[in-house]
């Protein structure tokens, strides 16, 4: 196979010379058979963060389902104030604007909805054992494959809009030293260059299906599937939140998506948010 290797800021990425794997509206739209997710697509060669761009559009009153796709992000954002790298032409980085008519306290469910949808699409497309680390890190072979950042804009009683941003490592051949042991990509795991377009279309379609269900049934129909993908349940975890660190066994995910951790003294604590590391053979991920 003829391929081209590119090096940037510690990442080595790979593209097939023959393929036309760009994520422009013209390339993506004909393959997409969703009703409204991707009804409008904005493609950018480069942007600071697709979530920022989507937020500005949503604040200006765009329609639900707008998808912002970038070939590269210069200041991609992760959860808990972290950075997210999107090297050129090798990853998928997109954000979707959602406007569910739900009470603000239900909006965090979107995190699990999108996690389930992305995991399902990646399992289907790769036939690999892709999993979810609570709440929605997508994991493959104990390394992070994909991150999801969901940001909610709500008033006291109404959700104005939700931006959910998804970053998938697709054709990254080598990660910088600090990420090598904790991050992976589809091409590294599959051993071949992967079509970003194909993955993106499948992920958007699963997001729409799962979100449609959520709007009618809440998390009722999603939780069993979500739990079946969980790499957190049944394992020892370390939860780092603003105020404290706790360690224990992740014994349950509640119907509203909270993680229940059983501490050494037998006490059970519900985790609403925070950074969860899962202890396993190769340490924590
Ligand atoms: C995480 O795991 O910490 C979440 C990473 C989310 C990254 C995606 S890439 C597209 C969108 N734009 C951003 O700036 N972040 C999200």
Q: Cα–Cα distance between 43 and 180 in angstroms, integer? A: 29
**201 burial level (CB within 10 Å; 0-12, 13-18, 19+):** buried
What are the phi and psi torsion angles at 136 (to 5°)? -155, 40
SS3 call for 137: strand
Whether residue 280 is predicted with pLDDT greater than 80 in this model: the reply is no
Asked if residue 186 has its Cβ within 6 Å of ligand 1, the reply is no
Task: State the number of CA atoms in the 13 A half-sphere of 97 facing the CB.
Answer: 25
C-beta separation of 253 from 265 below 8 A: no
pLDDT digits (tens, 9 = 90+) for 212-231: 999 999 999 999 999 999 99
Q: How many CB atoms lie within 10 A of CB 160?
A: 12
147 lines ligand 1 (CB under 6 A): yes
Residues 6+ apart with CB under 8 A from 227: 233, 253
Q: Where are the beta strands (DSSP E) in 40-142?
A: 41-44, 67-70, 91-98, 131-133, 137-140
Mutation probe of ligand 1 site: the residue of 42, 71, 77 with most atoms within 8 A of C-beta: 77
Whole-structure pTM value: 0.95
Q: Place 284 in a pLDDT band, splitting at 50, 70 and 90.
A: low
Ligand 1 centroid – CA 146 distance (Å): 9
Cα-Cα-Cα-Cα dihedral sign, residues 73, 141, 257, 263? negative
Q: Where does the pLDDT of residue 160 fall: very low under 50, low under 70, confident under 90, or very high at 90 and above?
A: very high
Which run of H or of E encompasses 150? strand 143-154
Residue 63 pLDDT? 97
Rounded-to-integer distance, Cα 138 and Cα 199, Å: 14
- The answer to whether the CB of 76 is under 6 A from ligand 1 is yes
Name the residue with the closest Cα to ligand 1, atom 9.
Answer: 167
Is residue 27's pLDDT more than 90?
Answer: yes
Tokens standing for residue 154: 């709500």
How far away, in angstroms, is 238 Cα from ligand 1 center?
Answer: 22
Q: How would residue 46 be classed by pLDDT, with cut points 50, 70 and 90?
A: very high
Question: What whole-number distance in Å separates Cα of residue 275 and Cα of residue 142?
Answer: 16
Q: 192-213, pLDDT tens digit by residue? A: 999 999 999 999 999 999 999 9
Calpha distance 156→188 (Å, rounded): 45
Q: Which two tokens stand for residue 177?
A: 């030293």
Element (H, E) at 249: strand 245-253
Q: In terms of Cα–Cα distance, which of 35, 43, 10 is closest to 196?
A: 43
User: Which positions ≥6 away from 3 have C-beta within 8 Å?
Assistant: 14, 15, 16, 17, 193
Query: What is the average pLDDT across 12-32?
Result: 87
- CB-side exposure of 47: number of CA atoms within 13 Å? 19
State the Cα–Cα distance between residues 165 and 148, nearest whole angstrom. 6
Whether the CB of 50 sits within 6 Å of ligand 1: yes
Query: Cβ(249)–Cβ(262) under 8 Å?
Result: yes
């Amino acid at each position: 196979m003829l391929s081209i290797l590119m090096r940037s800021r510690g990442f080595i990425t790979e593209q097939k010379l023959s393929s036309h794997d760009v994520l422009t509206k013209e390339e993506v739209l004909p393959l997409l058979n969703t009703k409204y997710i991707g009804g409008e697509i904005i493609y950018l060669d480069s942007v600071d963060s697709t979530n920022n761009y989507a937020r500005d559009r949503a604040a200006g009153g765009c329609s639900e389902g707008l998808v912002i796709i970038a070939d590269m992000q210069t200041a991609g954002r992760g959860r808990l104030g972290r950075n997210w790298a999107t090297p050129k032409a090798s990853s998928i980085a997109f954000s979707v604007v959602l406007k569910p008519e739900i009470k603000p306290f239900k909006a965090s469910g979107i995190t699990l909805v999108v996690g389930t949808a992305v995991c399902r699409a990646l399992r289907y497309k790769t036939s690999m054992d892709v999993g979810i680390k609570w709440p929605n890190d997508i994991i493959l072979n104990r390394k992070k494959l994909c991150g999801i950042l969901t940001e909610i804009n709500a008033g006291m009683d109404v959700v104005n809009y939700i931006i959910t941003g998804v970053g998938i490592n697709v054709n990254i051949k080598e990660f910088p030293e600090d990420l090598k042991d904790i991050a992976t990509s589809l091409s590294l795991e599959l051993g071949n260059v992967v079509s970003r377009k194909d993955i993106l279309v499948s992920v958007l379609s699963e997001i729409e299906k799962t979100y449609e269900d959520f709007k009618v049934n809440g998390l009722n129909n999603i939780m069993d599937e979500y739990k079946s993908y969980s790499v957190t349940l049944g394992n020892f975890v370390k939860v780092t939140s603003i105020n404290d660190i706790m360690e224990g066994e992740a014994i349950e995910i509640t119907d509203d998506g909270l993680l229940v951790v059983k501490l050494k003294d037998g006490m059970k604590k519900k985790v609403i948010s925070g950074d969860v590391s899962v202890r396993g053979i190769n340490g924590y991920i």
